[in-house]
Chains A and B, each alone.
Chain A
Amino acid sequence: MTSAAIVFVVDDDPSVRSSLKFLLSTVGLHVESFESADTFLHKKAPDVPSCLVLDVRLPGLSGLDFQRELAARKISIPIVFLTGHGDIPMSVRAMKAGAVEFLTKPFRDQDLLDAVRIALERDRLRREEEKEVMILQRRFDSLTSREREVISLVVSGMLNKQIADQLGTAESTVKVQRSRALEKMHAESLVDLVRMIEKLKGSLGPVR
């Protein structure tokens, strides 16, 4: 487990908060606890893998409302829900909205630790992905408009000659622009470029 990871615990009960911190610390996790959703929202999230252990029944904003609020703020932190009593419809809603786990108090310590581990791993992957997309985007943004035109036609499967015909330019010119774009994108091959463009499309919408 990454030592830099942080587990945020939000529970209105101080005993629960401190016992959770104690339990999570036994596996070397760094824990920050909050007594309400609002206090958590005021805290600037550090750029490390993190997850949220959240009681469903919270004073003020409820756990599920809080989950919705985070989604609306485009804060995609994985959530492990805790609840005082099992409510199937509530757990279904939470899981559908992306919760990692929905645990009924009191729970087995291993269940919580497993859920937290999964949540942190999911966040780590997400962060890596985001970082990669960000880099790709930066590279993509460095392309000239003609280079973007050319590579978008390249990834659609057209040959240099065909691209030249469509753009009304020489095949040799296309060839140059294409190799320059690949270089700027740090793409090792055409396949690599296609993967990169797909990733950009998937996470950030239209490339243009």
Chain B
Amino acid sequence: MVAQPRESTEEIRHLQRCVSDLISVLALPAIWSGGEPSRIVDTLLDALLRMLQLDLVYVRLKETPGRARIETVRFAPSQEYKAQAHEIGQLVESWLGAVPQEWPPLMRNRLGDRDISIVPLGLGLQGEIGVIVTGSERADFPQQTERLILSVAANQASIGLQEAWLRSEQQRVANDLDGRVAQRTTELAGAIEELRKEIAERKHAEEERRSSEEKHRVIVEAANDVVVSMDEKGAILFANSAIRRIFGYDPAEIAGKSMTMLMPDAMQKLHANGFQRYLSTGKRHVNWQGVEVIAQRKGGQEFPVEVSFGELTSDGHKVFTGFIRDISERKQAEDQLRESERNLQMAQAELARVSRLTTMGELAASIAHEVNQPLTAVINNASACLRLLANRNLENEVLRGALEEIIADGTRASAVLARIRSFIKKEPAEKNSLDINEVIQEVLALAGRELSENQVLVEQQLSTDLPFALADRVQLQQVLLNLIMNGVEALTAVADRPRLLRVQSRMDESGDILVAVSDSGTGFELGLDRVFTPFVTTKAKGMGMGLSISRSLVEGHGGRLWAAHNSPNGAVFSFTLPATVEKFS
């Protein structure tokens, strides 16, 4: 036992060192905690190289999905041979083979120019993590304690690496999650922003729509015109309040009723047909903008309206909206305007007629006075002579004086007439190429009121292929107006038959233009032969000049004017005018 103390002391020391190394190895995980696998490998290699006084230590961590292969090598500072990690890895594989389970626990190989003992150890239960290879030139390598330390270190490294990997995986997952959360958060924030914008836009649009609808509603309600819409069946969908004022219907009362209730009977059929035709063919047969039609109020009163309508397709159904304007007042104003224009024309024509008659009247009065003075003297003187003669009291001297006066007065009367004739000069007519039918129409228009007031029916038989007449329009109008007014006056006494006035224009046998004005009136009271005699009249206010003037006007145009009996009643006045051969400018 005494001989053994040195041995024992050595043994104890060796064991102590081994325990110390084991404690160091066991402490490694504390150093590794939170560290990266590469750092774990580094510290492991450094620790083993120092503890076991190795010449070489090599670690390889297998590559797995998501992690790269790690190869690291350490050489003892005294070691002369040096190589790169992947060179050592290839050397190790050539020594041991690819399958870790088949590796021997220890082998001796050449490294450089020296022999070296190699101990491979798998990392992980099946060497799935990687391999750690230690080498030493010592012959006693590995001692039992060294092998223990190696295996413990390998275990610790496996655990540490797996923890590190787990942690890094967790970290990765966490990071990944964080990233995804962040991304998703960003996406959501974007989506929310989008939604917010969209909501704002929709809200805005809704507000706009409401405000616009409100505006439209207010406009439609406030409109002076009736706004009414109907569906494809012709039923009223909506009407604004103006319908109450204009048609007398309550807007609610007519909703759903047919649009035709706003029209008189005569219009209803037209509307229904036209509407049907439009729906089936799409062709509009009336202007949709501002067409004038007759409408009917609730009480049945008819009145003129101006209608504009439009079409809108909503949800596949057509809606027609009409704007109806009451134009009664406008019409009335137009009628009044037309009436007053016509009255003005009539008044002008009448004025012209009267002034002509007045001139004629004054002329006639003047003629009467001027001629009557000498005639009166003649008759007085002659009468006085006759009286004296009857009393046998006529002295020659007296008779001579009287006869001289009679001659003087007779001569004077004749001179008066000569003076008057030279005084009345003929106004030269202004002749143009005229459409006689046009002149007839003008004169009928002028006489329109007289005709209608006296309930005279006018029948026009105007030939459309007449040549132009070379005539003075105003004179022709005078002639026609005179004949027509004569006809009207002849008709006013007629009560037992229609008061018919017929105006004809045609070409006569000799190629002249012939105009005939015939009436169903009282005919010729004074006989046919006297109608053109000047100052002969059957009228209370007549001058008896109209027909004679008309005749001279027509004759001034190279035509003829004559009268005839109409069958069975009345008179026919006809005149001719020579036709122009060519159009006269």
Contact = CB atoms under 8 A, between A and B. Distances in A.
A85 B405 contact: no
Contact of B377 (A18, A84, A85): A18
Contact of B380 (A22, A27, A57, A84): A22
A26 interface: yes
Contacts of A20: 380
B91 interface: no
Contacts of B372: 84-85, 105-106
Interface in A7-39: 13, 15-16, 18-20, 22-23, 25-27
B408 A15 contact: yes
A23 B402 CA distance: 10
Nearest to B381: A19
Contacts of A26: 384, 387-388, 391
Contact of A15 (B364, B365, B368, B412): B412
A23 B373 contact: no
**A19, A27, A57 — most chain B CB neighbours (10 Å):** A19
B387 A15 contact: no
B365 A13 contact: no
Contact of B409 (A15, A107, A108): A15
A132 interface: no
B363 to A, nearest CB: 11
B368 A85 contact: yes
Given A84-B368, A85-B365, A85-B368, A16 B384 contact: no
A105 B384 contact: no
B123 to A, nearest CB: 155
B375 interface: yes
Contacts of A18: 377, 405
A129 interface: no
A27 to B, nearest CB: 7
Contacts of B345: none
Given A18-B377, A107-B376, A23 B409 contact: no
Interface in A80-108: 82, 84-85, 105-108
Contacts of A22: 380-381, 384, 402
A15 B383 contact: no
Contacts of B351: none
A28 to B, nearest CB: 10
A107 B373 CA distance: 11
Contacts of B381: 19, 22-23
Nearest to A110: B383
A85 B380 contact: no
Contact of B384 (A13, A57, A109): A109
A27 B387 CA distance: 8
B91 to A, nearest CB: 163
B379 A84 contact: no
A101 B289 CA distance: 76
A25 B377 CA distance: 14
Interface in B215-257: none
B369 interface: yes
A105 B375 contact: yes
Contacts of A108: 383
B374 interface: yes
A56 to B, nearest CB: 10
Given A18-B405, A26-B387, A27-B387, A13 B368 contact: no
Given A15-B408, A19-B380, A22-B380, A106 B402 contact: no
**B373, B375, B386, B405 — most chain A CB neighbours (10 Å):** B373
Given A26-B387, A85-B364, A109-B383, A19 B369 contact: no
Contacts of B408: 15
B402 to A, nearest CB: 7
Contact of A19 (B370, B377, B387, B391): B377
Nearest to A22: B384
Give the size category of A's interface with B. Answer: 20 to 34
A21 to B, nearest CB: 9
A23 B380 CA distance: 6
A105 B367 CA distance: 12
Nearest to A84: B369
A108 B387 CA distance: 12
Nearest to B386: A109
B376 A19 contact: yes
A161 B379 CA distance: 71
Contacts of A105: 372-373, 375-376
Contacts of B364: 85
Interface in B358-411: 364-365, 368-370, 372-381, 383-384, 386-388, 391, 402, 405, 408-409
**B364, B377, B384, B409 — most chain A CB neighbours (10 Å):** B377
A105 B369 CA distance: 8
Interface in A57-90: 57, 82, 84-85
A106 B410 CA distance: 13
A153 B384 CA distance: 58
Interface string B421-442: 0000000000000000000000
A41 to B, nearest CB: 23
Contacts of B380: 16, 19-20, 22-23, 106, 109
A70 B279 CA distance: 92
Given A84-B365, A84-B368, A13 B373 contact: yes
Nearest to A25: B384
A100 B473 CA distance: 51
Contacts of B377: 13, 15-16, 18-19
Contacts of A106: 372, 375-376, 378-380
Contacts of B391: 26
A107 B402 CA distance: 18
A14 B373 CA distance: 9
A15 B374 contact: yes
Nearest to B388: A26
A48 B409 CA distance: 33
A55 to B, nearest CB: 9
Nearest to A19: B380
Nearest to B383: A109
A14 to B, nearest CB: 9
Contacts of B375: 105-106
Contacts of B370: 84
Contact of B387 (A13, A84, A85, A109): A109
16 contacts: A15-B374, A15-B377, A15-B409, A16-B376, A19-B377, A19-B381, A22-B384, A23-B387, A27-B387, A84-B368, A84-B370, A105-B376, A106-B375, A106-B378, A108-B383, A109-B379
Given A109-B379, A109-B384, 17 more contacts: A15-B408, A16-B376, A18-B377, A19-B378, A19-B381, A20-B380, A22-B380, A84-B368, A84-B370, A85-B369, A105-B372, A105-B376, A106-B372, A106-B378, A106-B379, A108-B383, A109-B380
Interface of B: 364-365, 368-370, 372-381, 383-384, 386-388, 391, 402, 405, 408-409, 412
Interface of A: 13, 15-16, 18-20, 22-23, 25-27, 57, 82, 84-85, 105-109
Closest 6 CB pairs of A and B: A84-B369, A109-B383, A19-B380, A85-B368, A15-B377, A19-B377
